[in-house]
Amino acid sequence: MLAKVLIADDEINQLELLSFNLKKAGFEVVSASDGQQAMAAIEDRRPDIAVLDWMMPHLSGIELCRLLRSRNETRYLPVIILSARGEEGDRTLGLDTGADDYMTKPFSPRELVSRVKALLRRSKPASMSDVLEFEDLRLFPSRVEVYRGNVLVPLGPKEFHLLSILIERPGQVFSRAQLLDLVWGHGVYVEERTVD
């Protein structure tokens, strides 16, 4: 599964350069050219990390970072702030607002890729174990929620468990009896056709 990186920057050349380098490094890239687009992309695409320019129209990277930290579903999303503002006060403000890292422009795209990888390594156990993906389905085991695209799919606990088993083992063939044992447990009497 490719890690998904959101890049938000109103400088199109910068956005294209960073997208190119991150894709080349094996990441899936979602881009936005202002803060409002970035917030919508975070809600819709659920990236694994966000790289935000400080000075964007509609909603700055700092304001967006503050907003992300105030919401339960994005509180732990790793954030890197990019900015031409390199004074100590600016850097500390960015970090105190909730950014995990701060890079001053101009910077090396290779260094940004390395910092993205480092942040993902540190945050991966919490975020990756909490999401299962298959095509356009995303399962959140800790919340027992399934999304198809951006739409919540209502499933009961047993249906959710069954779906998660199938997604965790793509391509594996199960008999009805195996699925019954995996979902309901051994020694529980359930009609075999229940799985259908």
**Mind listing the pLDDT tens digit for each residue in 56-92?**
989 999 999 999 988 878 888 999 999 988 889 888 8
> Residue 126 has what pLDDT?
43
Helix 61-70 / helix 88-97 crossing angle, nearest 10 deg = 30
Amino acid residing at 92: T
- Mean of pLDDT values over 162-180: 84
Beta bridge partner(s), residue 83 = 104
The DSSP secondary structure of 53-113, one letter per residue, reads ESS-SSS-HHHHHHHHHHSGGGTT--EEEEES--SHHHHHHHHHHT-SEEEESS--HHHHH
Beta bridge partners of 64: none
pLDDT at 127: 45
CA distances from 96 to 28, 65, 93, 121 (A): 28, 10, 5, 22
Work out the percent of the chain whose per-residue pLDDT is above 70: 89
Structural domains in the chain, sorted by start = 4-124 (3.40.50.2300), 132-195 (1.10.10.10)
Give the pLDDT score at 128.
46
Q: How far is CA 67 from CA 77, 90, 107, in A?
A: 11, 18, 26
Indicate the residue type of 112: L
Specify burial of residue 10 (Cβ count, 10 A radius: 0-12, 13-18, 19+): middle
pTM value is 0.64
Average pLDDT over residues 85-114: 90
Residue 192 pLDDT more than 50?
yes
